[in-house]
Amino acid sequence: MILRARWNGPLPVASEYLMSSTRPRFAYRIIGVEVLRDLPHHVPGFTRLKLEVERIPSQDVPAGAVIHAWKWDARKKTGFAWSAQT
């Protein structure tokens, strides 16, 4: 599965996880990360990413795994997206 995201902070790496911090049913194991080109209308301070992930049940995330908070990020002019805040 491919996810697109705006990211601030250190970039994720393969084998880390994305998961909502409120009532998570699923987590996403990161398989690959591609940094996309920033365009003039994008929010400064964020990196655009294309993430290749595998969706798994949240209870299957191993103990001690690196988990990035994953939240819905509604953008007013350019539609909707997900993002991670670190």
Given a contact cutoff of 8 angstroms between Cβ atoms, the answer to whether 30 and 14 are in contact is yes
Cβ distance 6 to 48 under 8 Å? yes
Phi/psi at 60 (5° precision): -90, 0
Distance of CA 42 to the CA centre of its chain: 17
Using one digit for the tens of pLDDT, what is the confidence trace for 32-48? 999 998 777 677 778 88
> What is the average per-residue pLDDT within 58-68?
95
Which among 25, 85, 12, 86 is positioned nearest to 53, based on CA atoms? 12
- pTM: predicted TM-score of the whole model, two decimal places: 0.77
- Calculate ∠ Cα 56-58-24, nearest 5°: 120
